[in-house]
Structure 1
Amino acid sequence: MNKKEKNFATYKEFAKMLREVANIYSKLGDEPLLEEGYEYDAIRDAVQYVTNKHDFSFFLLPWREQFRSMPFDVTKRKKWADYVAECHAKGKEIDYDNYDWDK
């Protein structure tokens, strides 16, 4: 029997991989990110198993280091993204100067 192989190169599969990596990191809670090169072995190994990439420093560490060096409030950025998407959907101009970042 010749089964058709599933195409895993999809946005849905990529999102699944990112969610699994996020779940691994979320288990550390509010613990500060460690300096470059000092990732927990258990975390690094778990991420490698999920991503199928055994060169952690090439695949994930650049994102983590960028966030550690210049952190931001993800919730506020998500609200901004929703606002921009709403403006695009309604054909409104984005008000960069008067957007309320504290809402």
Structure 2
Amino acid sequence: MSKRDPLSTPEIAVALADLPKWRVVNGKLHRDFKFKNFVQAFGFITQVAILAERMDHHPEWSNVYGQVSIDLVTHAAGNAISALDVELARQIDEITL
């Protein structure tokens, strides 16, 4: 099984047990982040961008001042959640520790 293959609903549930701040919204892994200001939010976005580029797996995101919203889904898996999304979510969480 490839990391880009879609995960089953039970597999996603197991993954979310280790990612308590993430949830499934519209078929995507989703998490909102809040920062004190735009500079901190932008610094976080930059760190995630470098990580995503290294993984060759890029999030869908939005930023308004100190808030960043991230959605993770694998387009090659038919816009489904894959192990690659779970791994990226874990690594993003490590940035925010």
TM-score tier (shorter):
under 0.3
More helix per residue: 1 or 2? 1
TM-score, structure 1 as length reference = 0.22
The higher-RCO structure (CA 8 Å, 6+ apart) is 2
Which of 1 and 2 has greater Rg?
1
More strand per residue: 1 or 2? 2
